[in-house]
Amino acid sequence: MPDGVLIAVIVLAVVGAGAWFLSRRKDEESDGEGADIQDVLESLDRTLGIPPSRATFWSQNDRTTPMGARIRSTVPVPDAALATIDAALVQLQRRYKNRYPDWIYGFRHDSYDLLFVDPNGQIDEGEPKGAPTITVQGTESAGSCIPARYGGFPMDYIVLPHQAGGNWQWADYLFNSVYNEGEHYIESLNSRGVFNTGLGSMDTHPRTGPEWDAYGGSESEFVGFMAKPRTVRQKTNCGVKPYGGEANNA
């Protein structure tokens, strides 16, 4: 075989292998995009105690944020909420890349899948008063994470209560909830050890806080409230399970 042809064949093989590797890494990163809905509903029910009656996802409510995160919801999600989600993920990815420069997963918005389910509670004491909550295995929470299939790993979905009853007025609350649950999500994609240190009594946020903003990029491309500095509120007990275990709340 002539040398030129041999080189061309080698190059094509390397390119093909690289494309296969990247696609496999994406598959390993998350099952969320292609998960069967029945598996997801079972995971919601058995992992968090959220029954299918509060997770009726209509295809007309499926959205993709401007930066690529995928949304399934029981109600329509407005454009402003999509922008808030993007802004929270920008901050999450910046901080985690600064803290863990060797991590490679969860640094694209299209790595993230979010589920908005029907809330079954609200914040009666504290702020923001009236904001919706979900009960996660008996614990009131602003959100949680699940694998696409019950008992699986890593986490594939960030699970949040929708805000339709309040006309999506709690933008900061949504921002913080996405950020907080995103911490569990990105940790599960990259390090089971780091992920497990954020469960139970250690489930407080931010786990990677504003001290990791120093060497990151800017959010100046966002307008309005998204461009101003953010403080993520402390929150505990997301109800996220350790790998192969039961819900671990303090």
Three state DSSP letters for 79-104 = HHHHHHHHHHHHHHHHHHHHHCCCCC
Determine the pLDDT at residue 224: 38
User: Cα–Cα distances in Å, from 86 out to 115, 129, 241, 244?
Assistant: 15, 24, 25, 30
3-state DSSP assignment of residue 31: coil
3-state DSSP assignment of residue 33: coil
Residues whose CB falls within 8 Å of the CB of residue 135, separated by 6 or more in sequence, listed in order: 49, 120, 121, 141
Token representation of residue 208:
């990677």
Mean pLDDT of all residues in 226-247: 48
Model confidence over 93-146: pLDDT tens digits? Answer: 999 999 999 999 999 999 999 999 999 999 998 899 999 999 998 899 999 999
Model confidence over 48-101: pLDDT tens digits? Answer: 999 999 999 999 999 999 999 999 999 999 999 999 999 999 999 999 999 999
Beta-strand pair 157-161/144-146: antiparallel
Determine the pLDDT at residue 231: 43
Question: Is the CB of residue 171 less than 8 Å from the CB of residue 225?
Answer: yes
Model confidence over 3-55: pLDDT tens digits? Answer: 554 444 333 343 343 433 333 333 444 455 557 899 999 999 999 999 999 99
Beta-strand pair 113-117/157-161: parallel
Average pLDDT along the chain: 81
Q: What is the pTM of this model?
A: 0.77
Question: Is the CB of residue 24 less than 8 Å from the CB of residue 148?
Answer: no
C-alpha–C-alpha distance, residues 70 and 187, integer Å: 19
C-alpha–C-alpha distance, residues 214 and 210, integer Å: 8
Angle between helices 79-99 and 171-190 (to 10 degrees): 40
Q: Which of 248, 244, 155, 168 is nearest to 203 (CA)?
A: 248
Determine the pLDDT at residue 187: 98
